[in-house]
A and B are shown apart, each in its own frame.
Chain A
Amino acid sequence: MYLLGNLKLTGNDRKMKQESQFAPPLPYLDVADPGFSIRSAAVAAAREASWVARTNYGLAVLRYDDVQKMLRHPKLRQGSYRWPALNDVTGDFARWWESMLLSQEGDNHARLRRMANPAFSPKLITSLAPKFTELANMLIDDFAPKGKCDFIAEFTEPYATGVICELLGLPFERWRELADIAGDMGLALGVTFKKDLPTIEAATQRLFSYVEDLVAFRRANPKDDFIGMLINANEDKSQLSDQELMDMIVLAIFGGIDTTRNQLGLAMSTFIEHPDQWALLAEKPELARAAVEEVMRVRPTVTWVTREATEDFTYNDTLIEKGTTLHLFSQSATSDPRVFEDPSFDITAERKPHFGFGGGTHHCLGHFIARGDMTEALKLLAQRVKNPRFDGEVEWLPDSGNTGAIRMPIAFDPA
């Protein structure tokens, strides 16, 4: 048994002896290097050497079976709840971050999740498919005659935000405002969190007052839609308080925009690299749902989810100490040759599930929405945007953490 996490040696002879006898040095990945890529040869080599690597921030779990087990391991909790504290930040953003669903565990998490579930039910979401199609068509109409666009600015961003407007019952025209607020709040996830705090706090306060007005309006004008379902859950305040209701709505806005924007951008770049698959999708629109799954397998925007050990435990003969941070590498797991014999991009292949929506108790609550809106978008895009190709420099976020393109000029043949 060898020691991980804080890499402290405890005075246990047997452990020490085994360490010197058996423990191969664990691979090390410098994930803080701006040039680091979760798709690099270094990650693949580490995955061959071991199920786990050491990194600047703790451990990286690399193989399919281990990521799947770790996603539901009872000794692990979601790991980013301490992010504001780690950055020595307090205030409105920190208050929200630490109280919202993703940062909660156990009974409290279960209660909040139960209260939110009805709004996210597959039945409600399926009924929105025509709205998604309408929105996608409207956006494509705007740029199609040019035969080119910035796919992020002109499609994925307004589309992802437009879907959230639809859920909230807001007119599409409000999308820019919402995207800007969410963008400013998103600065909190970056390394310049503390420096950007004034912007982040202002955006948080704006979003909360926005949501407060929305809730007041919807209480006065009830309807059984997404936001109406959340408001219904708040009738019994002991189950969902006013504050918790607003925290949940803010989370749907914060968690639903950049993820969908990035994931659809990654879909386009993947298809540009596999033109035959794009042509196939145009021919067989019924493959759109499978296409979403296959894109999320090879190019998940959420390249890892974070977990923290709540007590010491042993896994694969390895002692993981309480407090250890683990990153579960989704892209590495779903290109693991142990499970995916031919991992090349193929929207017709039968695949084991990917981890692009995480898994376990924190499995993405918005996955029916995201799957539904991305399916409708890809279906239409393949019909109307033929032979897409890059048309200038694509600007990328780092290929780690939450990744994707922020600018993607493309040219295509309108159809």
Chain B
Amino acid sequence: MKVHVNIDICLLHGQCVIAAPEIFSFDDNGDLVWVAEIDDSQVADAEAASDACPEQAIIIG
């Protein structure tokens, strides 16, 4: 499955980093980075991050 973040509306709250730290993180510049291709075992975490995103910027599919 693919993880996509709409960076135009992402406000870098980092709620995704809290919900799914194995998939989302901040790099040294403070930019959001994420694992774009996840396996089945990570889908629940990615969905938790997508739910937790205040801007609803995360799309999984």
Q: Which chain A residues have a beta carbon within 8 Å of chain B's beta carbons?
A: 68, 71-72, 74, 109-110, 113-114, 117-118, 121-123, 353, 357, 359-361, 363-364, 367
Decide yes or no whether B37 CB sits under 8 A from chain A. no
Decide yes or no whether B48 CB sits under 8 A from chain A. yes
Decide yes or no whether B18 CB sits under 8 A from chain A. yes
Decide yes or no whether B52 CB sits under 8 A from chain A. yes
Which partner residue on chain A sits nearest B13 by CB separation?
A363
**B48 close to A68 (CB less than 8 A):** no
**B18 close to A121 (CB less than 8 A):** no
Which partner residue on chain A sits nearest B56 by CB separation?
A122
Q: How far is the CB of B53 from chain A (nearest CB, A)?
A: 9
**B19 close to A72 (CB less than 8 A):** no
**B13 close to A367 (CB less than 8 A):** no
Residues in B whose Cβ lies below 8 Å from that of A71:
13
**A353 close to B11 (CB less than 8 A):** yes
Complex Cα distance A367/B13, Å? Answer: 14
5 pairs, A vs B, C-beta closer than 8 Å:
A117-B19, A118-B48, A123-B51, A357-B54, A359-B11
**B11 close to A122 (CB less than 8 A):** no
Complex Cα distance A118/B55, Å? Answer: 17
Give B1-55 interface residues, CB cut-off 8 Å to A.
11-15, 18-19, 21, 30, 48, 51-52, 54-55
**A72 close to B51 (CB less than 8 A):** no
Complex Cα distance A239/B13, Å? Answer: 23
Which partner residue on chain B sits nearest A116 by CB separation?
B52
**A367 close to B54 (CB less than 8 A):** yes
**A363 close to B15 (CB less than 8 A):** yes
Complex Cα distance A370/B19, Å? Answer: 21
**A361 close to B11 (CB less than 8 A):** no
Complex Cα distance A363/B19, Å? Answer: 13
Residues in A whose Cβ lies below 8 Å from that of B52:
117, 121
**A117 close to B13 (CB less than 8 A):** no
Which partner residue on chain B sits nearest A368 by CB separation?
B54
**B11 close to A68 (CB less than 8 A):** yes
- Known: A71-B13, A114-B19; 7 extra A-B contacts, CB below 8 A, are A72-B11, A109-B18, A110-B18, A117-B51, A118-B51, A123-B51, A359-B11
Complex Cα distance A110/B21, Å? Answer: 10
Which partner residue on chain B sits nearest A355 by CB separation?
B11
Complex Cα distance A360/B30, Å? Answer: 12
Which partner residue on chain B sits nearest A352 by CB separation?
B11
Which partner residue on chain A sits nearest B12 by CB separation?
A72
Complex Cα distance A150/B8, Å? Answer: 42
**A72 close to B55 (CB less than 8 A):** no
A-B pairs, 5 with minimum CB distance: A121-B51, A110-B18, A363-B13, A363-B54, A117-B52
